[in-house]
Structure 1
Amino acid sequence: MASPKIKLALQEISASADKQQGYETLLKETPSLSSPATLSQDLTTTLDAIFADSLGIVATRSLTASFVDILKQVPINDVKVEVGEHALVIFQSQASSFEEQNAQIRELMATAHEDDEDFLAAAKVLAGIPLESSQRKVTNDDKIRFWIRITRNYLEVDDTTLAEQYLNKAKNVIYTVSDREMNLHFSLCQARIQDARRNFLAAAQGYQDISFMPVIAEEERLHTLSMAIKCAVLAPAGPARSRALGRLYKDERANTLPEYSILEKMFLDRLLSPEEVAKFAEGLATHQLARTSDGSTVLAKAVVEHNLRGASRLYNNIGFDALGSLLGLDGDKAEETTARMIEQGRLVGRIDQIERVIWFEGGEATGEKGSGRAEGIVGRELKRWDANVQGLAEEVEKVTSELQLVYPDFVAANLVV
């Protein structure tokens, strides 16, 4: 129920000749006339009275604009939300006439929800703002600002499906926007979605690109570089990840970060110890520690595949059980992991299931499916022999050519045709 002072003021307005001016004055005085306990009810009662008086669309629009300005000054988030919800219900009856006020109220409510860390409610309120209307012109900059804000709120509650839906809307028109800060937020949202969806290689590239942007502070650039390293470490082992690790390892800023140690070992294909992995896991986000369908974590799977690549650099061949002991798996699981990496073109080798031995081949897989399968040993040895013979013949030819240049008479006298 409205406070006595507001009730009295409304009675005086109803008896006055200039009601619009009376409401204007009352709206300005409401914060001082009301207490925190009655402010919400006083504002909603005043708004109800304005619409009940049927002052005409022009006067009502002017008063609702003043109402929004007063609501902006209210310091209590709960009041903003409660009054805002009531106002939206009233505006709904004449939606096309109060689109601007509707949008402003929703933005106020979203800010209040964000301050209270209710990000899902903020996203839903913002999603109700009409962006395509003949009554209200909305620029591409404004549309992208709304969509990115909605995306960021959904990301705060880990709803990547709806976050991506709104980011895709922004993606269609982001090329028309030159604002560097808005482009930064778009890129950051894109990287965060890829990260949350475990597309770690794309996320690592996105984070690293952001870390070079001068529009953000040095501390933030280092933070995004740190995120890039984490994503690269979590990516599936293979040629693509090796390239990503190489880019990050060559970044001069990387050696100042706590993740540099594991980055260096992975780039150089050194084996990782459980202690190093546990320490690295302390800095990961919840979704990066989530379990996959086979029960292992994303990090555990990435480390096993990395250590398998490291083992391929140390051994020409190794038994299933010995490899499993090295990777912290049983022999059958080690064979399964190796077979999958060979099949996906992330490791070059072949498996002898009868002898339970894995043979590793030199060189780098291309990353194409099936490219990791090595040829049989006979064919491989013959090709290696041919290559050695060809290399020897080329070296003899080089020596002969040099002799002809330096000692032409000697060569002419001793050349056997």
Structure 2
Amino acid sequence: MVSEQVTDALLALEDAQASKKAQGYNELLDKILASSSASDDLPANLIAYVQSILGDSVGIVTSRPLLASFVGKLASLPDADIKIQVGTNAIDALAPKVVSYEDQDSQIKLMLADSYEQNEDFTSSAKVLQQITLDSSQRHVSDDDKAKIWTRITRCYLEEDDPTNALSYLNRVKNVIYNVQDQTTKLQFQLSQARISDSQRNFLDASNSYLNLSLEPVIDEEERLQALSAAIICVVLAPAGPKRARQLARLYKDDRTPQVNEFAILEKIFLDRVLSPEEVKAFAEKLQPHQMAKTADGSTVLDKAVLEHNLLGVSRLYSNIHIDNLGPMLGVDSDRAEAYAAQMIEQGRLSGYIDQIDGLIHFSNDSGADGAKGGAANLGTRELRMWDANVQALCEEVERVATMIQTAHPDFYALHMGA
């Protein structure tokens, strides 16, 4: 309930001369904060105050700086619930005349978003941020500011495990990210992109994004190693095949990988060694809930990834194997082992063919994806795979240097390219 002293003071200020209103309102706000900080009257007094300065008796020229000062002092309060209660009422009071107070309206909504996040209510924070006017004829909003808001909304939805809404706002950031200058916003965008790919089980894309993030020099060493660890986890969960093998090679040759706990499983997978149930169980304890979700056949993403990897490992050890013997080696029944092998052969991720009459699976490390013709789908021996990865890395470095030269010396680049 509004205190009687505040009510009387507000009535007096509304009837005061225009020249005295600004100083009077500022002094009253300081008194409200000093006298009501430990009482239950503070929210009601502050709501009455903001409604008064937005009233018809106070002109826009006077009320704008008063409202800006009010927002700054409100944001400094430690109690998030009070800030939410007062800020929500202020937004409602501003709604009919928001066109005249867009800057102050945005400041209040940003303060509200901070308060909701302080209470770990990320969905409410995202909804408040969505209400901020970013396309307006009254004020210019830069691409940096737009990207900052949209990235923050994306991160809020990711905190609530809502990748669908997060992706819609990440796509908005993609339209302006090349004009963004703020390094922090760029890094948050990269991290959000990695987390969305991870949550949607696009593990190869997520691994690549995490790896690129781990190479950013402006990030602390500990955070870079965390990103590298996340990149390894995602590549382990990715479907077996040539694309995954290339990403494994990039990670394995990284000088930093021996520093992370996941290096042991990365090495075994890269060297096509069969994983034991104990190793898989220890690795599973590090996974997030969405990474342990069930697939259509009832197995987890990790179970499927390990089974496919072990199947590739078996193909390196044997030229052929009976289906009844393959199942126990993979820890599944023979029908499921045959189904996985058939699927991988059909998709070009395993080279060979199945002889159902004799019950044998024949592996071919010298043939391509169709089991008869040579092709790039089969990576061959470990030495060839490492050579392929090194060549790819060299090409990427050359391209990166060429891009840097083009950016720094466009005339030199155009002259020599023309030649």
- Shorter chain as denominator, the TM-score bin is 0.7 to 0.9
- Aligned residue number for residue 192 of structure 1: 195
CA deviation map 1:336-385 (0-9, x unaligned): 100000000000010111221111112375xxxxx34347xxxxxxxxxx
Residue 88 of structure 1: which of 88, 91, 99 is its match? 91
User: Are residues 1:303 and 2:301 paired?
Assistant: no
User: Are residues 1:137 and 2:140 paired?
Assistant: yes
- Measured in 1, the distance between the counterparts of 2:66 and 2:56 equals 12
- Aligned residue number for residue 33 of structure 1: 35
- 1:226: Cα distance to partner? 0.2
- Measured in 2, the distance between the counterparts of 1:364 and 1:230 equals 30
- Measured in 2, the distance between the counterparts of 1:359 and 1:5 equals 90
SS of match in other structure, 1:94: helix
- Aligned residue number for residue 397 of structure 1: none
Read off the aligned partner of 2:316 and give its amino acid letter.
R
Residue 19 of structure 1: which of 13, 18, 21 is its match? 21
- Aligned residue number for residue 316 of structure 2: 313
SS of match in other structure, 2:54: helix
Residue 126 of structure 2: which of 113, 123, 129 is its match? 123
- 1:48: Cα distance to partner? 1.8
- Aligned residue number for residue 207 of structure 2: 204
CA deviation map 1:114-163 (0-9, x unaligned): 11111111111111101000112111111111111111111111111111
- Measured in 2, the distance between the counterparts of 1:349 and 1:202 equals 27
User: Are residues 1:373 and 2:371 paired?
Assistant: yes
Read off the aligned partner of 2:292 and give its amino acid letter.
L
Residues 6, 33 of structure 1: 8 Å contact kept: no
SS of match in other structure, 1:52: coil
- Aligned residue number for residue 173 of structure 1: 176
Q: Which moved more, 1:195-204 or 1:61-70?
A: 61-70
Residues 119, 153 of structure 1: 8 Å contact kept: yes
Structure 1 residues 69 and 275: alpha-carbon distance in aligned structure 2, compared to 1, 3 A threshold: same
- Measured in 2, the distance between the counterparts of 1:96 and 1:312 equals 68
User: Are residues 1:218 and 2:218 paired?
Assistant: no
1:8-407 equivalent positions in 2, closer than 5 A: 8-17=8-17, 18-36=20-38, 37-363=40-366, 365=368, 371-374=369-372
Residues 181, 215 of structure 1: 8 Å contact kept: no
Structure 1 residues 218 and 364: alpha-carbon distance in aligned structure 2, compared to 1, 3 A threshold: farther
SS of match in other structure, 1:98: helix
Where in structure 2 are there 5+ consecutive unaligned residues? 374-419
- Aligned residue number for residue 7 of structure 2: 7
Read off the aligned partner of 1:271 and give its amino acid letter.
V
TM-score using structure 1 length: 0.86
- Measured in 1, the distance between the counterparts of 2:65 and 2:207 equals 50
Question: What is the RMSD computed on CA atoms of the aligned residues?
Answer: 1.5
- Aligned residue number for residue 383 of structure 1: none
- Measured in 2, the distance between the counterparts of 1:56 and 1:14 equals 11
- Measured in 2, the distance between the counterparts of 1:374 and 1:264 equals 30
- Measured in 2, the distance between the counterparts of 1:300 and 1:94 equals 58
Read off the aligned partner of 2:258 and give its amino acid letter.
N
- Measured in 2, the distance between the counterparts of 1:287 and 1:364 equals 36
Structure 1 residues 59 and 150: alpha-carbon distance in aligned structure 2, compared to 1, 3 A threshold: same
Residues 151, 167 of structure 1: 8 Å contact kept: yes
SS of match in other structure, 1:185: helix
Aligned residues: 370
- Measured in 1, the distance between the counterparts of 2:367 and 2:150 equals 43
Read off the aligned partner of 1:24 and give its amino acid letter.
N
Read off the aligned partner of 2:332 and give its amino acid letter.
L
- Measured in 1, the distance between the counterparts of 2:92 and 2:112 equals 14
Residues 27, 66 of structure 1: 8 Å contact kept: no
CA deviation map 1:83-127 (0-9, x unaligned): 111011111111211111111011001111111111111111111
- Measured in 2, the distance between the counterparts of 1:181 and 1:107 equals 18
Read off the aligned partner of 2:94 and give its amino acid letter.
F
SS of match in other structure, 2:354: strand
CA deviation map 1:245-282 (0-9, x unaligned): 11111111111111011000000000000000000111
Structure 1 residues 52 and 29: alpha-carbon distance in aligned structure 2, compared to 1, 3 A threshold: same
Where in structure 1 are there 5+ consecutive unaligned residues? 366-370, 376-417
CA deviation map 1:230-254 (0-9, x unaligned): 0010000011111111111111111
Residues 326, 337 of structure 2: 8 Å contact kept: yes
- Measured in 1, the distance between the counterparts of 2:332 and 2:275 equals 15
Structure 1 residues 275 and 362: alpha-carbon distance in aligned structure 2, compared to 1, 3 A threshold: same
- Aligned residue number for residue 398 of structure 2: none
- Measured in 2, the distance between the counterparts of 1:103 and 1:58 equals 18
- 1:53: Cα distance to partner? 4.2
- 1:190: Cα distance to partner? 0.8
Read off the aligned partner of 1:173 and give its amino acid letter.
V
